[in-house]
Structure formats: structure tokens, C-alpha cells
Amino acid sequence: MSVQTLYTAATGMRSLETKLDVIANNLANVNTLGFKKDRANFEDLLYRQHVLPGSQDANSNRTPTGIAVGLGSRVQGIQTDFRQGAFQPTGNPYDLAIEGNGFFQVTDAASGQILYTRAGNFDVNDQGQLVLASAQTGRLLEPAITIPSDATGVVVQADGQVLVRQTGSTTLSPAGQIQTASFINPDGLLKLGENLFSATDASGSPNVGSPGVNGLGVIRQNALEASNVEPVQELIDLITTQRSFELNSQAVQAGDQILQLVGNLRRS
């Protein structure tokens, strides 16, 4: 009966509503540093099997096909696209970007947990330590790197080595080594907001090392990685999602009208 039409179309509307939320979040973060866009994947639900494929007909012959009516769709999962974002030159020596695979490591001030980010907008705190430039929480770069108070220049090499030039000196001296981390399954990382991820059992243990070694990307100084959201593609997805939602709503209306017609026939 058309009652099933109502439920089936409703599952499609619910799934598309989730996809709309994903698209909205992508568009909202089009200017977020290091943001990686998401994609909603759908799957069909169970089928009502009226006739199984291979059933025997009246002459004991096997039927080549069956009769199965689908019961709708649902969100299978939301995957993150970790492709490289464009580089934005800034001229700020504390702005860093990873070219290739990997995440910066930072220490959460409250829990002491190591968190991971692609946003490299670093600054120095009152102790001269490199921290994420946040107005809410000061998260130290891990391992900690301290810039001397008399430093007149800072150079971060592609391999993550931090060099400083101090007052009265013409040579560069080492101040620390940046280490980055990669994961066998970055889709398994837990998204925490504030451009941060945390490791989970699904992501696997972090592979920590110097940039440029064992598949880790290199460091680019004086630049930031922009969001990899493509606004034009998101707008196209937005339009198709809206139209698909409208089609499912029309299926609900059609099913409701048929039920009304059946009800009227019974009363007549």
C-alpha cells in the first residue's frame, strides 16, 4: 500500500537532510585554515522480498529474477577528503603549512592529551614557546620549541628544524625540531572542533617523525594551508540535494493523496 511510500520517502528526506547539513558545514568552513571537507555516503535499506530470484514457476522452471521492493535509504557514513588545500603566503615566520601527508602535534592544556591539526597558524606565548594562535586556549606545539627573547629572525626548514638568529650573531643556531604525525586511517580520527583531531582505535597509532621522512610531508614557512572546500562544487551539490529532497516530498504527497482516495472509496 501507499503507506510504505510515506515511510520510504521519509527515509530519503532524512538522509538528504543529513547531506544538507554536511554541505552547509563545508560552506561554513570555506575559509577555515586546514579544513578538510566531508562527504555523505548513502546506502539502501532492506528489501521486501515478494518473490525470490530463482524461484520455481508453475512448470518447475527457475525464474531469472525476483520481485523485491526497497524500503528507502540511510546515511552509510561521512568521509573526510584529506587532499591538500591551497597555500596562502603570509610573510609571517610563525605561519607553517604541511606540504603532503601529516599533522602538527599540539598538547591540550586541560587534559595534557596530544591532539593533531593541519592549521599551522602558530605564535609565541609569554615564555617564548610556540603555540597555536588561539584566543580561547593556548596549546603548545609538541615537542615544545622555545624561541629566545633576543631572537631577531626565525627560520623553519623543510625538514622541521627550527633555527634562530640572535642579537649580535650573524649565524643561525638550532632552537628545536618540529615533528609531525600521520595515520594509516585518517578517516578514523575523531573531530573535536577548533581545527583539532584526536587519535582513536579506528585511526591507528600515530606515525611520528621528522617532516620529509617515511612519507611525512615537508614544512613550508611563511604560508598557511587553506580549506580544500570547492565552493562551486558545493553549490552544485546543494542544488541537487534540494531538488532530491523536493522529489521525495512529492512522493509523500502522492502517497497521501492515494490513501485519501482509498479512504473516500470506502466511504462511498
pTM of the predicted model as reported, rounded to 2 decimal places = 0.87
pLDDT at 186: 96
pLDDT band at 78 (very low <50, low <70, confident <90, very high): very high
Calculate mean pLDDT across residues 218-241: 97
Per DSSP, 187 falls in state G
183-228 pLDDT, tens per residue?
A: 999 999 999 999 999 999 999 999 999 999 999 999 999 999 999 9
pLDDT band at 2 (very low <50, low <70, confident <90, very high): low
